[in-house]
Homo-oligomer: A and B are copies of this chain.
Amino acid sequence: MARQKHRQDGQCPVARSLEQVGDAWSLLIVRNAFDGMRRYGEFLDDLGIARNILADRLRRLVEAGILEQVAAADGGSHSEYALTRRGKDLFPVIVGLRQWGEAHLYGKGERHSKLVARADGKPLPPMRPLGRDGRPLEADDTLVKRIA
C-alpha cells in the first residue's frame, strides 16, 4: 500500500513521502537508526521483524537514499546501515510521531521512553509548525495551495 499510485499523487509531498516511508517498519527502522542502531542483526532482534521483510525494507531505504551501506565501524567483514542526510532529515517526522504518541496514547502513570535533550537531559517541548514570524500555527492557520 505504501507503493501504489493514487489519483494525483505526484502533486502532494505528503503522498510522495508516504510512498517511501509509509509503512510502519520503515519508520521503525529509521527510528532505531536514530538511536544508533546500524546492523541487520540488531534491527532483527529489536523489531522482531521477519528476516525477508527486513532485508527488503533495508534495500528499499537504501534505494530511497535514506540509509546507506557502509563498512563496519569495527573493521568487521559485514556492512552497516547508516542514515544519510536525507534520512536524518526525517527527524521531525519521528519526533512528531513520538510526541503525538506521548500526548495521546498513554494512560496516566503508564510509562514510556522519552526523547530528551542531550545537553540537559530534559524532555523536548512539543514541536510545532511555526509561521515566518516564529509564532506557532494551527492547522486552521494554514492551507494547501494546489499548483496551477
CB-CB nearest in chain B for A1? B24
> A48 to B7, Cβ gap below 8 A?
yes
Instruction: Please name all residues of chain B whose beta carbon is closer than 8 Å to the beta carbon of A49 when the two chains form the complex.
Output: 6
Report whether over half of chain A's contact residues are helix, strand or loop; otherwise say mixed. mixed
User: Contact mask A84-114 → B, CB, 8 Å, 1/0?
Assistant: 0010111111111111111111100001111
Instruction: Please name all residues of chain B whose beta carbon is closer than 8 Å to the beta carbon of A103 when the two chains form the complex.
Output: 89
Instruction: Please name all residues of chain B whose beta carbon is closer than 8 Å to the beta carbon of A122 when the two chains form the complex.
Output: 132
> Cβ of A16 < 8 Å from any Cβ of B?
yes
> Cβ of A41 < 8 Å from any Cβ of B?
no
Instruction: Please name all residues of chain B whose beta carbon is closer than 8 Å to the beta carbon of A74 when the two chains form the complex.
Output: none
Instruction: Please name all residues of chain B whose beta carbon is closer than 8 Å to the beta carbon of A8 when the two chains form the complex.
Output: 46
Of the candidates B1, B7, B124, the one whose C-beta lies within 8 Å of that of A130 is B124
* Chain A residues packing against B (C-beta within 8 Å): 1-2, 5-8, 10-20, 22-25, 27-28, 31, 34-35, 45-49, 65, 86, 88-106, 111-122, 124-132, 137-147
